[in-house]
Structure 1
Amino acid sequence: MSLVETGWRQFTFFEKHNVYDPNNPKCRFNGLKNLKAFRSVSGVGFTVFGEPCGAIFKLSRNLEEYCWIAHKRSLADIALAGLILATVGEDEEGINSLVKLWQLDRIEKDAPFCIRVIRVCPLLGVGRSTRACAIALDSSLQHIAVGFVDSSVIYSASNIKEKSGKWLTVVNGSSSGPGDEITGVFLTWIAAQDLCILYCLTSTSVLSFSIANKTVANKVVHDAKGCFRDCWSFNETRNQLIVGSTEMVHFYEAERSLTADPDSGKGRCHALGRSNEKIQLIAFHHHVALLTRQPTAIPSSNEIWTYVVSIYDTEGQCVAFSCAIPAVSRIFLLDNVLMVLSQDGTLSALTEKSISSKLDILFKKNLYDLAVGVAKRSSVSSEHLPEIYKKYGDYLYRSGDFENAVQQYTETVGYLEPSYVVKKFLDGSHIKELCMYLEVLHAKGKANSHHTTILLNCYTRLTAHDKIRDFIDRNFECNIETAVQVLRAANFTTEACHLCAKHKHHDALLSILIEDRADYKSALKYIAKLETPQVEECLEKFGKCLLINSPEETMKLLSDKACFSQINSLALMKVFIGLPSQCTKFIETALKKDKKNNEKLRNLLLELRLRQWALRDEVFIYSIWVVLRKYDENLEESLELCQLFNYIPGIIYIYKKMKRYDKLIEYYMRQNKLREIVEFCEEKNSRDLWIDTVVFASRGKDIDPDEIKFLLERIEATNSIHPLVVLEILSKSDKICVGHVRDYIVNWMEKQNAQVEKDEEAIVEEETKMAEIEEQIDSITYKVQIFQMNKCSACDTSLQLPAVHFLCKHSYHAHCLESYSEKADYCPACIRDSFNERMQSDKGKDFSTRSAYVQFQNEVNESVDCMTLISSYIGDGLFDSWSKENGSKTENEWTSPQSDTSTMNKLNVNQFEDQSSEKTISMSTIACNPFLTPKTMNSGTAKSVQSTNPFDVDNDSKNPFEEDL
């Protein structure tokens, strides 16, 4: 509790000026001269006065007057809710109080329209006749309360404009009431609790009731000792009841009336107008206007009383205005302006000064604390507060109160340039104050990197580890990189690590651990906890340093991440520069899981091992072969690496693996490796390859006789080229002499002589056979044939008629012949022997031509034993020929498309399918097929086929004897 006389400062924040008549500006307004008002209520743009005689007087903001008679005999009280005015009074003699509701914006018969009339005396109960003296309306028009002279109070919750609801007796004056006349009632709705608060005031007490669902839920007895009729007011802006008792002015928050707490009836109070008699109290905005009177202190004055109008700022605890005005009749609000009505009918207005004027008054007196409060309560506080705080801070700084000064400066953050304050406290003796300001600057997100640097430097100078940790934990918005640099420079590495970890600055944290603290194990543990993308970035940047200083732990981390395919192994290769052994180990691990980069990793591993082999480290030869054989797909880059390091075994292996035999031969030729070429020719057994090899040998400048001899021996052994072709090719060489090929020629001539002798013997033998056959033909043709067979050649039983005899000396029963042969014109035994001989002679023939298929069809049609015929064809390799030719094609894939023509033709012919389209028949097929007739050859060739015969005069593409152009 504070006393005005001793504690509150007094100012003149209001100006008093006279109100003049709008119709006659030179004369003061006196339209209320004869008004005997005892109650007044203010609305939007108007004020309503009530006279005891029952008249209602309305004054607008334009000072327009309007009057009508509400009650014929007397008026007790009025209440306003929007444009609905409620009056309570008497229209008749005796006690018969009426409540009337008036709609002020609807005028009928020179008076507002009366919506409703309620007789309230019967509502108290049978046998009771008590005069009503107070009324209250809620702004929603859903609640109404009426007070009586015996302290009774009734309440109704319904739409009072439309119907009469049930009335609730809140206070029964005859039994439980205080017994005093009700001096005021007021209703306020608490939306959050869905209930209504009803205040009841008498001259001796103040009560409040919480009403929910038309039931009194709670009753609170307040500590004020009652008040007179005009000495209370309700501030709807703050939902606060203000009661002016004899000694004090009490303030009660509506929300405190909701609980049954014994202290809920106690409110804030101030001794306002304590030494004077209170006449009237009005609350508006954050002010309380009080009209008091006291005996006049001027002996010569005719006035007995001196009236004082005071306006209090209860939050700022100051007197905003106080003035003695003679013969005051009433104070009231008109459009939120406090008006003073004198007994002579003149009006005075108390107008609040502008915020700038009020601040100037306070600044002159250095009352900056009050200036702050005044600015906050104004509607333009944001415009003035920063300047007030700045001036307040400057004043305190000049006074030497640095701690409080910096507190004021902190309120200017965001408005005042920070450098203005920082410069004031850069002195070493003001580090604490500077820290306070910079902390607020960071907390409000207005700090830059320089402010962060200054603050952390202050902390480090104070060795305030707790402050630094608090700075980090409070998540100030600042430049993290700058903060880390400052902490590292001051050797506060623990705090720097904490800051980096909190804001996920992984690079900075690892840099501290590795470069400043050399704590490699902690760095590795931190990396292991990161997400995969961050792991890759950190390892790329710090991996090499970790490998050098902590190789085992680093390799374990790399291997673990690589094994679970969590990192891009290829991106980490630069980490291993200069560390081949660790790189090899890592790649071997990564190859097991990193399928995406498998090929590139394999080539890197191969390159590493080739480099080590190039340093004459023969240990890695086996490792190179492991890589080449284990990862044998997409070998192009591997080939380039082997060529780069001239690793001959790898080059040869890759060429063979890729089946690029032409490139392999070219490589051998460039390396002048004739013996290797010969061995490869033996492996592939290709005539064209042999010819190319002989040509290469003939053109060689440095000819080794032993290699020429080896070449000729292998050609002779494989019999792949005709000796004449070999000799013709070698004859073009200027380096090869006859002595080099002497043995080859002699051996060939000896073989030719032996073959001639063998052929001559065969001719003699065949001539002998032909003579015998001619004798048999002559005997059958010209001599009598005697059939002397006694047994059937088929069933080997005695021959009986009917019998069939053949010139071949075979005889059959007629029924046996029919059983063994479908054709009676042929001997079954002889035709079988003839067929077998023919099949024996035709072994190795080509079944892939169409003529062979036609011949097979004819033989089946003519055969007497079809099953035997088909069996013989199968035995002669009818179906084996395709497999052989397919295998031959696989072995000769390195040859040119021209050399594969005959093979492809054979594969494309189905000897058991009736071909409707013409097929291409190669010269090799014609040469080896004895069944192919000239007609078939002519009709079966759709286009010419390039010959592979080196002696073909029409085709020189394979002629080794062609002169070089």
Structure 2
Amino acid sequence: MALTSWKAFNFVDVSPVKVPEDSSALFGSDLSSLCTGSSNLFLGTNDGFVHIVTSTFRVIRSFKAHDAGSIQHMKQINGTSLLVTVAEDLSNEPVLKVWALDTELKDGTPRCLSTVLVQNARRQFPISAFAVVEDLSQVAVGFANGSVTIIRGDLIHDRGARQRIVFESEEPITGLETQSGAVTALYISTTSRILTLVIAGRGQGQPARILEDTGCGLGCMTLDGETGDILIAREDAVYTYGPRGRGSSYAFESSKTSINSFRDYVALVCPPRPESGKGEALPKYGVNPGGDILGATTFTLLDTDLKFIAHSEALVSPMKHIFMEWGDLFLLTTDGKIFRYREKSLQQRLEILYERNLYILAINLAQKIGINTLQQNAIYRKYGDFLYQRGDYDTAMQQYLRAIDNTEPSQVIRKYLDTQRIHNLIEYLEELHDHGRATVDHTTLLLNCYAKLKDTSKLDSFIKAPGELKFDLETAIAMCRQGGYYEQAAYLATKHGENDMVVDILIEDSKKYAEAVEYIWRLDPEAAYHNLMKYARVLLAHCPERTTEIFKVYFTGQYRPRTEVAEAEPQEQHTSTVQSLANLLPLRYVTGGGGTQTQPPATETDPINQEAEADAAPQYKVPKPRTAFSAFVDHPKEFIGFLETLTEQPGLKQDAKVDLFTTLFEMYLDTAKTKKDATEKQEWEDKAKKLIEGKDIPISTSNVLLLSDLSNFREGSTLVREQEGLRLDIFRSFTSAKDTQGAIQALRRYGPDEPQLYIDALTYFASSPQILEEAGDELDAVLRRIDQDGLLSPLQVIQALSNNAVVTMGRVKKYLSTSIDREHKEISTNRRLISSYKTETAAKQQELSNLSSQPVVFQSRRCQSCGGTLDLPTVHFLCRHSFHERCLNNVDDDAQCPVCGPQNSTLRAIRQRQVDSADQHDLFKAELSRSRDRFGVVSDFFGRGVMKSQATMDEV
């Protein structure tokens, strides 16, 4: 890969660091080593001093670390106050010291925890590489003669240290790095090889293993803190190594003298090119943004993952040290100047990429950094806008889909509506529904798009998608109905329990009335009743038999949701739709599967099944029958069947019974009235008559009379009046209608029990010559009955017949002669009775007089009580009964004869009652009105002494 394949950007801000004057001398030529840690900068000088510098580049502490030699290497152990320094003088062995910076001696210098003389086979070779394990358990020192020494031991507590040369080669050591984990590995680089050596853990003690037979220069190996891999800089590329060998590589053709890892970047220092005019010039930023300078050192920050140069510049002065601390990268040049390299904010970097339309790189950068989804979506949206402007609508839609979570849908929808890209629009709307961000309008638009394309398969997959509902249910159903997709609308409504809407669709849209009836029959009782009443008239008009059947079952309390599809009526649609919809109903109503089955009905010999059916049957309150009456308007046949079924049910409440029988009676009469054939009419009238026959008829008399009169059903009126004892009304109905023969029949039938009918018949027969002629000899029979029963006196009969000139004296001559003879006989009989009563009265009065004025002789010899012979003392009564005094309970002035006493008490009680009832005129009138012999009543009242006033007589 050539250098020109790397895109270059200015993602880093470079600024010079102003070092205080009292500290600037430390960064000059005397500086021999540098390290960072614990938010401080540690400087080692040639005179053996260590200076600790803060983020403001001020020295806060200095101490003499080594008495001889310069400090060439330092390492601050992160998270601790430990500092490792190595000073060397080619005339002596290098000295390694461990310092505790948090512990001071009396002179103010830190405490030296341990001192170790580093061994080397040949002293005249300097230390070229230095590495420390994080827990300070091991220190690796590499020399220019190709040997590596490992120092092991407790360097913190100075409990002794062991040294061993673990590696020797003919090439100088150019770099050492440690990698901790399950095992601790030491990576060794020479000028010709890359090796790994296990210094702790499994495999320790084995010889170094060669990873590659190509080495690197001094300072060209570093540890990638992000990945834990080893980075090697060579002239052609940057290589990565791990425990298993070489990994990925990144081509970057240039000589390199230093490599460092800073965040996601690899910092490279490249020496001047021998022939710069032949190569391509690097872009220059930061310190010297001018053109190429012959012999200039370049400093470059690479993003090896995304393959771009974040920063590149030509350095005026060569690099002396690079260090990372306080979140930034610093570069120290040989002339003592320090430059700070601070990465620009993400938004600034993204804006740079936007300017160059590098949206894919911007997305990759954002994902690598790990920014939140909302920020990434903003990049996707910008990329989509860019692609849309270029006319790449499909790819632009993919970006809009990625940014769907925080993009205003209307912005995208409006664009694709304008360009008539309906397929892209469908894709976006579907994704909106999948993310739960769709509104009612979005659902409407999506369904409209499906309808416009007539894409039934997509519509089906959309509404039948598994999982939770991703759109507004009511809107989806409404749009399917508007677009004519009734089956899909019914499916949605059924799946989500909108049973009322399913019935609406089947009836109002699909016109599948038979299927609607079957679907209703699968619902629970409450839902079934609601839908049945709502569409009763429509269903009765198209499916009268099945609809009437469900009415009968429901209103008799026997409704059970069906679990099998009944065959539709021949003229109606098939039931495949309702079968498919039924599969979505709750399992307690449908047995499920490809087909449904019903359990065989329990028989009398299977009480277990009967009990199970009773337990499984849904309980519901049976509505009043009258609530269903209005549904059967214009359907008399079905209505009569419904009423007949309900009237046969036992245990009907009284109000329901009255409604059912009254309505059924009316329907029978209405049906009979519409029949032209006499036989059919008589059959329906017989049914009506049967309803009102017998006792305890639930239909009120007034209703029967009214309905019979409206339908001209005279037999009904007659029957009811007869049952109610209204015989007079029956007779008068015939006379009012001038039906003489009917009146005669009623007279013969009811006359013996209702004598008043004869009096009414006499008046009716004498009302006109035509009626008299129709009556014939019946007038004579009426007169005889009146005479026999004494209903009217002859004078009253004459008065009744004399109201008009219809009946002549010749017709009543026989009646009058018979009456006169009978009255003569009664007069003679009454005279004899009077004479007898007078004689008897006189005899009684004489007896009373004798008892009060003459002595009485008692001749009785025996006691009337005990039957023994009378002896003194004896008690005699005027009634001629005698008793022993001892046989009587008491003897005083009021003593009564035990034999005659009860009879006398009865007579006195009768007399007292006569006295008490003397003023009861109402009682007299009542008896007078009820009795046929009114004169006998009067004589009886006089005989009892009740009638005492002349006013009462006058009233009688």
**What is the correspondence of 1:538-557 to structure 2 with a 5 Å cutoff?**
538-540=531-533, 542-544=535-537, 546-557=539-550
**AA matched with 1:835:** S
1:260 counterpart residue number = none
Q: Report the CA distance shift for 1:23/1:539 in structure 2 as closer, same or farther (over 3 A).
A: farther
SS of 2:36's partner is: strand
**CA distance in 1 between partners of 2:106 and 2:783 (Å):** 146
Q: Report the CA distance shift for 1:846/1:598 in structure 2 as closer, same or farther (over 3 A).
A: farther
Q: CA deviation at 1:97?
A: 4.3
2:192 counterpart residue number = none
Q: Report the CA distance shift for 1:327/1:647 in structure 2 as closer, same or farther (over 3 A).
A: farther
Q: For the Cα contact (< 8 Å) 2:75–2:83, is it kept in 1? A: yes
Which residue, 41, 54, 60 being the options, matches 1:49? 41
Which residue, 203, 206, 213 being the options, matches 2:187? 203
Deviations along 1:499-523, whole A, 9 cap, x unmatched? 4433455566557656887766544
Q: Report the CA distance shift for 1:715/1:466 in structure 2 as closer, same or farther (over 3 A).
A: farther
**CA distance in 1 between partners of 2:851 and 2:646 (Å):** 90
Which residue, 526, 529, 532 being the options, matches 2:522? 529
Q: For the Cα contact (< 8 Å) 1:55–1:67, is it kept in 2? A: no
1:407 counterpart residue number = 398
Q: For the Cα contact (< 8 Å) 1:89–1:99, is it kept in 2? A: no
1:388 correspondence with 2:372? no
**What is the correspondence of 1:624-635 to structure 2 with a 5 Å cutoff?**
624=688, 632=698
**What is the correspondence of 1:236-385 to structure 2 with a 5 Å cutoff?**
244=231, 271=250, 279=258, 281-282=260-261, 284=263, 288-298=264-274, 306=297, 308-312=299-303, 314=305, 316=306, 318-325=308-315, 326-330=317-321, 336-353=327-344, 358-359=349-350, 361-363=352-354, 365-374=356-365, 381=375, 384-385=378-379
**AA matched with 1:391:** D
**TM-score if structure 2 supplies the norm length?**
0.59
**CA distance in 1 between partners of 2:784 and 2:319 (Å):** 149
1:620 correspondence with 2:610? no
Deviations along 1:297-324, whole A, 9 cap, x unmatched? 157999999453314273x554433445
Which residue, 854, 864, 878 being the options, matches 1:807? 878
**Which segment drifts farther, 546-555 or 475-484?**
475-484
**CA distance in 2 between partners of 1:437 and 1:333 (Å):** 47
**What is the correspondence of 1:437-476 to structure 2 with a 5 Å cutoff?**
437-444=428-435, 445-446=437-438, 448=442, 451-457=445-451, 460=454, 465=457, 468-469=460-461, 471-474=463-466
2:611 counterpart residue number = none
Q: For the Cα contact (< 8 Å) 1:603–1:637, is it kept in 2? A: yes
1:581 counterpart residue number = 637
**AA matched with 1:473:** A
Q: Report the CA distance shift for 1:79/1:624 in structure 2 as closer, same or farther (over 3 A).
A: farther
Q: For the Cα contact (< 8 Å) 1:528–1:535, is it kept in 2? A: yes
Q: For the Cα contact (< 8 Å) 2:232–2:259, is it kept in 1? A: no
Q: Report the CA distance shift for 1:458/1:807 in structure 2 as closer, same or farther (over 3 A).
A: closer
Which residue, 866, 869, 872 being the options, matches 1:795? 866
2:34 counterpart residue number = 38
**CA distance in 1 between partners of 2:753 and 2:476 (Å):** 79
Q: For the Cα contact (< 8 Å) 1:231–1:278, is it kept in 2? A: no
Structure 2 residues not aligned, in runs of 5+: 88-93, 117-129, 141-149, 189-195, 202-208, 277-291, 560-619, 676-680, 927-937
Which residue, 400, 411, 414 being the options, matches 1:417? 411
Q: For the Cα contact (< 8 Å) 1:242–1:283, is it kept in 2? A: no
Deviations along 1:192-236, whole A, 9 cap, x unmatched? xxxxx89966435699999xxxxxxxxxxx99999999944656x
**AA matched with 1:576:** F
**What is the correspondence of 1:170-209 to structure 2 with a 5 Å cutoff?**
202-203=186-187
Which residue, 883, 887, 902 being the options, matches 1:832? 902
**CA distance in 1 between partners of 2:49 and 2:699 (Å):** 113
**CA distance in 2 between partners of 1:5 and 1:800 (Å):** 175
1:10 correspondence with 2:7? yes
SS of 2:454's partner is: helix
Q: CA deviation at 1:605?
A: 4.0
**CA distance in 2 between partners of 1:153 and 1:318 (Å):** 42
2:82 counterpart residue number = 87
Deviations along 1:703-744, whole A, 9 cap, x unmatched? 97889999999999998999999999x899899999899999
SS of 1:828's partner is: coil
1:559 correspondence with 2:615? no
**AA matched with 1:632:** P
2:204 counterpart residue number = none
Q: CA deviation at 1:381?
A: 1.9
SS of 2:40's partner is: strand
Q: Report the CA distance shift for 1:662/1:647 in structure 2 as closer, same or farther (over 3 A).
A: same
SS of 2:698's partner is: coil
**CA distance in 1 between partners of 2:250 and 2:256 (Å):** 12
Q: For the Cα contact (< 8 Å) 1:817–1:824, is it kept in 2? A: no
**CA distance in 1 between partners of 2:487 and 2:531 (Å):** 20
- What is the number of equivalent residue pairs in this alignment? 768
Q: For the Cα contact (< 8 Å) 2:434–2:470, is it kept in 1? A: yes
Deviations along 1:677-713, whole A, 9 cap, x unmatched? x99xx999999x99x999x999x99997889999999
SS of 2:862's partner is: coil
**CA distance in 2 between partners of 1:790 and 1:748 (Å):** 60
Q: For the Cα contact (< 8 Å) 1:803–1:811, is it kept in 2? A: yes
Q: For the Cα contact (< 8 Å) 2:221–2:230, is it kept in 1? A: no
Q: For the Cα contact (< 8 Å) 1:242–1:249, is it kept in 2? A: no
2:61 counterpart residue number = 68
1:217 counterpart residue number = none
SS of 1:770's partner is: helix
Q: CA deviation at 1:789?
A: 1.9
1:773 counterpart residue number = 844
SS of 1:18's partner is: strand
**AA matched with 2:431:** V
Q: Report the CA distance shift for 1:16/1:826 in structure 2 as closer, same or farther (over 3 A).
A: closer
Q: For the Cα contact (< 8 Å) 2:95–2:115, is it kept in 1? A: no
Q: For the Cα contact (< 8 Å) 2:179–2:186, is it kept in 1? A: no
Q: Report the CA distance shift for 1:420/1:792 in structure 2 as closer, same or farther (over 3 A).
A: closer
**CA distance in 2 between partners of 1:72 and 1:720 (Å):** 159
**AA matched with 2:885:** A
SS of 1:38's partner is: strand
Q: CA deviation at 1:752?
A: 7.6
Q: CA deviation at 1:810?
A: 1.9
